[in-house]
Amino acid sequence: MDRAAASFDEVFRDYYREVVRVVSPIVGSVADGEAVAQDAFLKAYTRWRRIGRYDRPGAWVRRVAIRDAVRFAERSRRPLPPRSPEPDVEHAAVARLDIGRVLGRLSPKQRACVVLHHLADWPVAEVAEALGCNASTVRVHLHRARAALADALAPEPEETTDAR
């Protein structure tokens, strides 16, 4: 095995799990996240003579995977699963806090911004770089996403019966 192939193997071992972890919430499932990550690594492999000379080739793969994940999510907008019945009041908040379902209410770009900024703890500037947009655009997506998440996580109004 030549040096370039060995380097690719090292980058794959070091970054594959991280890339899958980052893109899975964006695309909505681990299986789709793995497919997107594998496609990004395949793109890197076919360009390895150039990519392998980068200071951080794994960062290139991660950026490609994130952008591909957003495009994948935009193409395959799936309807939300039906709301599951809540067994009792004690578990109502936990039942409503299904992160995948809640993130599914966001646009793919909002979802990517939330996942990268809040779940992966990236600064806004890095999120913007990964998505290929301005930091102000990321802040707008985050603002809109937080508003949508606040609506999704707000307690539902109690039904009142009028006993008159």
pLDDT of residue 160: 58
Q: Are residues 8 and 72 in the same domain?
A: yes
The yes-or-no verdict on residue 94 having pLDDT over 50 is no
Q: Are residues 3 and 52 in the same domain?
A: yes
Q: Are residues 23 and 73 in the same domain?
A: yes
Convert the pLDDT of each residue in 25-56 to its tens digit.
999 889 999 999 999 999 999 999 999 999 99
pLDDT of residue 86: 42
Q: Are residues 6 and 69 in the same domain?
A: yes
Residue of 143, 106, 105 lying closest to 124 (CA atoms): 143
Answer yes or no: pTM beyond 0.85: no
Q: Are residues 35 and 96 in the same domain?
A: no
Q: Provide CB contacts within 8 A for 53, sequence distance 6+.
A: none
The yes-or-no verdict on residue 78 having pLDDT over 70 is no
Helix (H) or strand (E) run with residue 134 in it: none
Tell me whether residue 104 is in a domain.
yes
Q: What is the mean pLDDT of the chain?
A: 83
Tell me whether residue 161 is in a domain.
no
Tell me whether residue 11 is in a domain.
yes
